[in-house]
Amino acid sequence: MLKPFHLRASQAHKRLVALASSDGQRPVTELFAKNSNRFEEMHAETDGFFMDWSKQRISKATMEALFELASEANWKEGRTALFSGDAINQTEGRAVLHMAMRAHEGDNFHVDGHDVLPEVMEVRETMLAFADEIRADSKICDVVNIGIGGSDLGPLMVTKALRRFRDGGPNVHFVSNVDGSHLESVLEGLNPATTLVIVVSKTFTTQETMANANAAKDWFVQSMGESLIQKHFAAVSTNLEAAAHFGIAPRKVFGFSDWVGGRYSLWGPVGLSIACSIGSGNFRSLLEGARCMDVHFQQAPDHENLPLISALMGIWSREYLGFETQVILPYAQDLDRFPAYLQQADMESNGKSTGRDGKRVSHATGAVVWGEAGTNGQHAFYQLLHQGTSIHPVDIIAVKASMSRYSGHHEKLLANAVAQAEALMVGKSAEKVQSEMKVSGAEQTEIDAVSAHRVFEGNRPSTFIVLDDLDPKRLGMLIAFYEHRIFVQGMIWNICSFDQWGVELGKVLATQILAEWKGEEIGDHDPSTLALMKLIRG
Ligand code: F6P
């Protein structure tokens, strides 16, 4: 169990509060002017993954105080507990060992004294062999992944991000929503005779997934008959019995352990649709990249430890500067589902208000995560990022190598990424706006009327991440980087990052309302809910 930590009672907290009203308010441009080494001191790189945090509203003193905060929160002890397989998911009494899913043979991962790697390796090999079998089967053209949350967002995001690595693999589709139009819109273009359906559900009880899986089964049986289900359906679950009961051939049910959380599960059998898309070799590179980040996270000194530093920037922004959201801006169309993926990974992990001691925390916790691929976002919400009344720190993710054959596009894309970070920090003063208007021949009356609207106050923080390429390895690194950032933040915020009780109440009430609509006696609801139930169902 991770020790409770009371952020606001820590020594570092007092220093950080003072620093927030001094260094935290200084223009970053001024900090650059004072320290010609600032960029040198505030960037680091590991294996084709580069991060520049020099445009954050942070001074050297602030960084030291943040490292001190992390140390008071015993983050290193927590990291050891995480990698040792201790039951740090304390409310469910489970270890948190998704890193084992990307381990090498010979690495050390134990749960309750039991070496988990032999089983991980065995399932990995069986699952990858099956994926390659599907890729080699000319009769299978389409794969449909039916799952939701962690059983959908990770595989969907990775499959999209690595579209260039498909190399003749089947088309992979994703169905998650219990809105039937999601399933319908995917199935209407498909031929059951050339389709493999993978039902992915850790529990195999999730309402949305089971509704979609049963409807997909009916669609299949109508034209192909019951007997071919075993050929055209596979499942991924910790609930092997339920998957077998659904009618899936035992050889095509891929299990995993409860120490892999849903939102951290793409590294194992939940990644089957990814492996079908990109093949076993590329899937192994994805795992290799994540493992590289695991090793970096465990071994890099604090001042170069990328997930640690990123986590601390987030704590600084949220707790000390009062910024409520974290924007994720991938300058890569292939990463356009990355913000949505990270919403679950981060907000389901750190959107909590009860501390590890069972008491309500007295500080801010998880930021709202949102974003969109650049440059699309620039023509939508960047207006608010540059001139809105609230400040939203951004992570810009750029990729050095071109991701398409249109290299001219790539140059433009990267120029936009770099320009946005500069614009957010430097802004544009009233004097500059006015003198530019004068030079362009504007009348004084026009200058007086319009110039204030053209001012950018600047000093809006960003972190800039550059991947050498959007290849399986660098993508693995990127995902593991954010996983470890989330872990460190949870340590410092004193919350239980690996449960998700907050999603339960809505599920229970939806089941109850559904039963009431089907004839059960109407229970206790507030007047608005009763009126809505009546309005919708009569
Ligand atoms: O939304 C809650 C949740 O439990 C997620 O944590 C999980 O990823 C998702 O539902 C799907 O669960 P399952 O894989 O068990 O169907």
Query: Chunked in runs of 10, what are the mean pLDDT values of the chain (538 residues)?
Result: 95 98 97 97 98 98 98 98 98 98 97 97 98 98 98 98 96 98 97 98 95 98 95 95 94 95 98 98 98 98 98 98 98 98 98 98 97 97 98 98 95 98 98 98 97 98 98 98 98 98 97 96 96 93
- Does residue 507 have an active-site annotation? yes
d(CA 74, CA 111): 22
Q: Which atom of ligand 1 is nearest to the CA of 147?
A: 16
How many other C-beta atoms can be found within 10 angstroms of the C-beta atom of residue 5?
21
Q: How far is the centre of ligand 1, averaged over its atoms, from the C-alpha of 503 (Å)?
A: 9
> 438 phi and psi, to 5 degrees?
-60, -50
Candidate of 206, 237, 498, 507 to mutate for ligand 1, largest count of ligand atoms within 8 Å of Cβ: 206
- Does residue 217 have an active-site annotation? no
Domain pair 7-89+301-493 / 100-283, same fold: yes
Q: Which atom of ligand 1 is nearest to the CA of 151?
A: 14
What's the token pair of residue 341? 């993926």
How many other C-beta atoms can be found within 10 angstroms of the C-beta atom of residue 51?
22
Report pLDDT for 418: 98
- Does residue 348 have an active-site annotation? yes
Q: How far is the centre of ligand 1, averaged over its atoms, from the C-alpha of 291 (Å)?
A: 24
DSSP code per residue over 8-31: GGSHHHHHHHHHHHTGGGS-HHHH
The sign of the dihedral angle between the CA atoms of 338, 341, 347, 350 is negative
Q: Which atom of ligand 1 is nearest to the CA of 206?
A: 16
Name the closest-CA residue to atom 8, ligand 1.
150
Q: How far is the centre of ligand 1, averaged over its atoms, from the C-alpha of 50 (Å)?
A: 32
Q: Which of 286, 332, 320 is nearest to 131 (CA)?
A: 286
Residue 307 near residue 490, CB atoms below 8 Å = no
DSSP code per residue over 177-191: -SSHHHHHHHHTT--
Is 520 strand, coil or helix? coil
pTM of the model: 0.98
Q: Which atom of ligand 1 is nearest to the CA of 203?
A: 15
Within 6 Å (CB) of ligand 1, which residues are found? 147-151, 201-203, 206, 209, 262-263, 348, 500, 503
Report pLDDT for 1: 85
CATH top-level class of 7-89+301-493: alpha beta
d(CA 28, CA 42): 12
Report pLDDT for 155: 98
Given 14, 379, 409, 534, which residue is catalytic? 379
- Name 523's Cβ contacts closer than 8 Å, sequence gap at least 6: 512, 516
Q: How far is the centre of ligand 1, averaged over its atoms, from the C-alpha of 241 (Å)?
A: 18
Q: How far is the centre of ligand 1, averaged over its atoms, from the C-alpha of 76 (Å)?
A: 29
Q: Does residue 209 have a cis bond before it (omega within 30 degrees)?
A: no
Helix (H) or strand (E) run with residue 52 in it: strand 49-52
What's the token pair of residue 502? 């907050």
Which stretches does DSSP call E strand in 288-420? 325-330, 368-371, 394-399
d(CA 73, CA 312): 12
Residue 215 burial (CB < 10 Å; 0-12/13-18/19+)? middle
List the chain domain ranges: 7-89+301-493, 100-283, 504-537
Task: State the distance between the two ends of the chain, measured CA to CA, in whole angstroms.
Answer: 50
DSSP strand pairing (394-399 vs 462-467):
parallel
Give domain 100-283's CATH superfamily. Glucose-6-phosphate isomerase like protein; domain 1 (3.40.50.10490)
Residue 433 near residue 451, CB atoms below 8 Å = yes
Report pLDDT for 357: 97
